[in-house]
Every structure is written in structure tokens, then in C-alpha cells.
Structure 1
Amino acid sequence: MTNPNKRKGTAWESSVRDHLNGELGLLGEDGKIRDPFFWGNARRPAQEGARDVGDVHLVPFVLECKDVAKPTIPGFLRQAVTEAGHAGFPFGVAVVKVRGAAVRRGKVYFTVATWTQVRHVLGMDTDSMRKLYGFTATVRGTNTERWYLSCEMDAFAALVEDVRAVYGTEVIRAVR
């Protein structure tokens, strides 16, 4: 019998992948991927042990998905950024399940550095980025490594589309 926590985590990862593929219009009417070879599909890569590459790849993002009762966001973000580096992706974010809520209400967390990099890619000022995607900031103490920004999953899907529109085919080259 498999570990119940592992099953729960795998189910969350699959839900995140499927939801984002749906939001990005990548599913057919039957609920299946239209083009399994399309570079832009959200995918769950095979795990690679000590050099883990994240739970879900959604070019140009690596998503570290967590379904836990007591989230430790700064640790999840460190893991996401590290795993994005292992995978060769520019951005790592953490996606945390909200208890009792639909997948679309899951929270996507960004380090301040990642959020700033994405904001620069989009050519947006701080207030515009915050308002357009519904970001909220969490600031704890003076250690900026414990600061982060978050948005809901559906806003993240829109952000991914916008980043891809700016990057264009450069996204594909960046992760090859």
C-alpha cells in the first residue's frame, strides 16, 4: 500500500496540472490534452532524486505543489527556486492547496525576486502587476527571504499566458 501523504500529494499535483491545462485551453472536449507533443502543456516530470526538477512544469515555470495542513511558504519557495534551476527553467513558484476550496482557489506563491523578474518581463510597474493578477504580499520581519507574494491559481494561468506572449518562442529556447 502506498503512503497516504504521497497519494495526497500526487493527487494535488495532477489536479494542478489538469486545471492549468484547462485554463490555458489545452484540453479537448473530452478533457484530454489536444496535442501531447505541444511544448506549452503543463506536465508532471519524472522525479530525479537529489536533483529534483519540481512537481509540474509549465514553461517557463516550475511548480512545487504542496497539500499540507501547515504550510511553510519560505521553505517551499526555496525548494521551488532550487528545482527550477535543476530543470533549467527561469522561474520557480510554490502552489499550495487551500483546504476545502476548489483547485482554482489554490495559492501560487512567488519569492520577491521571482515576482520582480516576472514583472520586468511583462514590463509592468508594481501596482499594475499587483492589481491585474490580484497579488497580495506577506512581509514577516526584516529578513526579505521570508517575504513573498501570492495570487490564486486562475490569476496565475492568466499570468503564464501573458509571460508566454512576451517571451514568444524564446521560452522554448530558454528551457531546452
Structure 2
Amino acid sequence: MANPAKAKGTAWESTWTAYIREHHNPEAHRNVQMGSKDIGDVSGYYLHAAELKAEKSITLSDYIAQANREAVHAGQPFGCAVVKRRMKGVADGYVVRDVATDVRLMNRFRDAEELLREYKFDVWFEHDEHHREAA
């Protein structure tokens, strides 16, 4: 690849996609770029359009605006920027949303957990225990 910046971005997308396949969704995949109707760099990050960035200068406001636009194009409720942390591995990168998006996401989680706890307490309890251990 002649453009080193593009090669760096492509490598980050590939590495992050492999990580997501292993730890989250084996069906995750990189998307074909679609210009003004882009749907994010990677599909398969649950409920999100993921815009991946591996740049020396980080401009979160631009990344979030792009991710939110792409979430609309992708038909996903949430957009996020996945930003590579310099000199670190994938697990040390950052997933970034604006506060409004994060509050909507947390409300959805809260409501889903309340429903599960109310209707299937034993299943909720096991779910809660499992995820507390993972932290």
C-alpha cells in the first residue's frame, strides 16, 4: 500500500476486527467504504456503527460526529469511535461516544436488566454474577 497512513488505519481495523471476533461476535467484519453513505468501518459490534481511528492527532469531536452519522446510515441505534492508543495493543484502545449516546445506551441496559430481573430473577442473578467476575 503506497499510503502509510492508510496502511496504518487498515491494520488497526483488521486487528480490532479480529479482537471483536474472538471476544464479542465471530461474525464481525470490515465494511466496504460507501462514501457519503458510509456505515462505519466494522459491522458486528452489537448495536453500534464503529468508526475506527489510528491517528497521531486525536480529534474526538470529528470522530463522534462521523460515527453518529454512520450509525444512522447503518440503521444502528449507537455510534462509537474506536481509537487506537499509541504504542499499545487492541485491548488498551478507546471506545468513545458522546454523553447523549452513552446515556441512551445505559438507559437501554438498565431497562433490559430490570426486565430480566423482574421476569427471570434466577437468570438475571447468574448473568449479574458472571459479568461482575469478568470485571
Q: Provide the TM-score with structure 2 as the length reference.
A: 0.77
Quick one: structure 1 residues 25 and 88, their matched pair in 2 at CA, closer, same or farther if it must change by over 3 Å? closer
Q: Deviations over 1:9-64 (max 9, x none)?
A: 011011111111111273xxxxxxxxxxxxxx221111111111110112311110
> In the alignment, does 2:55 pair up with 1:63?
no
Q: Secondary structure at the match of 2:96?
A: strand
> 1:17-96 counterparts in 2 under 5 A?
17-24=17-24, 26=26, 41-57=27-43, 58-96=45-83
Task: Report SS of the residue matched to 2:107.
Answer: helix
Runs of 4+ in 1 over 2 A off after TM superposition: none
Structure 1: distance between partners of 2:60 and 2:25: 29
Deviations 1:71-93 (A, max 9, x none): 00011000000011111111100
- Structure with bigger RCO (C-alpha 8 Å, 6+ apart): 1
For 2:15, the equivalent position in structure 1 comes to 15
2:89 matched residue in structure 1: 102
Assess, with a 3 A threshold, how the Cα gap between structure 1 residues 47 and 25 changes in structure 2: closer, same or farther: closer
Q: Percent identity?
A: 39
Structure 1 unpaired stretches of 5+: 27-40, 125-161, 163-176
CA distance in 1, matches of 2:72, 2:79: 8
SS at match of 2:29: coil
Q: Which runs of 5+ in 2 are unaligned?
A: 112-130
Q: How far apart are the structure 1 equivalents of 2:25 and 2:59?
A: 32
- 2:128 matched residue in structure 1: none
Counterpart CA distance in 2 for 1:43 and 1:13 is 9
Question: 1:124-159: CA deviations, max 9, x gaps?
Answer: 7xxxxxxxxxxxxxxxxxxxxxxxxxxxxxxxxxxx
Greater helix proportion: 2
Task: Return closer, same or farther for 1:7/1:47 CA change in 2, 3 Å cut-off.
Answer: same
Residues in 2 aligned to 1:115 and 1:65: alpha-carbon distance in whole angstroms: 18
Structure 2 counterpart SS, 1:59: coil
CA RMSD, aligned part only? 1.6
For residue 123 of structure 1, report the CA deviation from its aligned partner: 0.7
How many residue pairs align between the two structures? 111
